[in-house]
Amino acid sequence: MLQTAKYLLIFLCLCTGNKAFSQCCTSGNPFISDAEQPALQSRILTASLNYRYSHSGKYYSEDSRFTELPFQEVANSNYTELQIGYGITNWLTALTDLGYFFNKTLETPGIDSYKGYGFGDLGLYAKFNAYSNSRLRLTISPTVGVKFPVGVFDQEVENVQLPISVQPSAGSYRYLANLFISKGFGKVALAGFASYEYSQLIESENFYYKYGDQWIAALYFNYRPWKRFTIDLQVRNEYRTKSTRENDDIIESSGYDVVFFTPQVTYAFKHDWYLSAYGDIPLYKYYNGIQLSFGYAVSVRVTKKIDFIALMARKRSADPGGSESK
């Protein structure tokens, strides 16, 4: 029973792929840009705990830095996310994630500061093992999912509502679909990832706002120089269309196109524990109108993988007559 509870707890605390925003301060969970993984095999569970720090401090207009504003604004967030994945069958993996912001801060140094905190959104996803060929080391894994705005929205400080950009939850449902394709060559693997996300209209007591659609395309290069050490290099393009507000008015200073470089290192410890570190570095930024642009993000992740079939087999081999003697 205790053992089951332990695995359930781990299950509840760890696994999946990728969800983040390149804009400095957008409501809802950021995109966790670690290297995407294919669907899991049956009865394998992965659970991971991510921590992410992001910082923004430069305004952009189109693809150039915009320095004409008579003040400075800085945004940062400390964010953690629990991701869990479980291979229900060899072709279906269930994934979930839940985010929590320790802080989501927007400040003009020395003048004012807005700080939101609390739970973000809850994501539920189904990932399919559409094609897997171990001889060719080729996998194709499409995913569909929903993010539920279960966290804190309409947050107030001293009876004054925080701006939408520092609210922890997105405030509306988001629907996404993505495709991951991976091909191995010796010690190297190449992968591609494409994702689309549709945000529903935020229609709360105080806000009426719709984020634009988001498209993400990423290429991964994975290299394992040593048995326990892996290097991932990722180039990712995040594109978001313009937002809309009341009367379907288009918000001209919204939407962006950003290309990131995301290096990642992963060390595999004994007993299927993994430690990863990665960072998001923008290589190219294009922002419509005038917007505070994404600066950088650094992340660490701890992952535990449990293979229940191997676990049962080990248990049986350690106690071959166990069940009969009872």
Which residues make up the interface to another protein (CB under 8 A)?
12, 68-71, 82, 84, 96, 98, 112, 114, 118-119, 122, 148-154, 156, 158-161, 163-164, 169, 206-209, 243, 245-246, 249, 251-254, 289-292
**Dist. CA 71–CA 91, nearest whole Å:** 53
At its nearest, how many Å lie between another protein and the CB of residue 199? 15
Whether the CB-CB separation of 184 and 134 falls below 8 Å is answered with no
Of 100 and 261, which has the nearer Cβ to another protein? Answer: 100
At its nearest, how many Å lie between another protein and the CB of residue 48? 14
At its nearest, how many Å lie between another protein and the CB of residue 164? 8
At its nearest, how many Å lie between another protein and the CB of residue 96? 6
User: CB neighbours (10 Å) of residue 286?
Assistant: 16
Spatial neighbors of 247 by CB under 8 A, at least 6 apart, are: none
At its nearest, how many Å lie between another protein and the CB of residue 24? 11
Of 44 and 98, which has the nearer Cβ to another protein? Answer: 98
At its nearest, how many Å lie between another protein and the CB of residue 82? 7
C-alpha separations of 139 from 32, 114, 200, 265, 294 in Å: 22, 45, 31, 22, 32
- At 157, is the secondary structure helix, strand, or coil? strand
Of 205 and 324, which has the nearer Cβ to another protein? Answer: 205
Polymer length in residues for the chain? 326
Of 112 and 324, which has the nearer Cβ to another protein? Answer: 112
Supply the DSSP string of 21-52, one letter for each residue: -SSSS-SSPPP--SPP--PPPTTEEEEEEEEE
Of 5 and 318, which has the nearer Cβ to another protein? Answer: 5
In 227-272, the DSSP E strands lie at 229-240, 256-269
Of 208 and 269, which has the nearer Cβ to another protein? Answer: 208
The residue with tokens 């060719």 is: 136
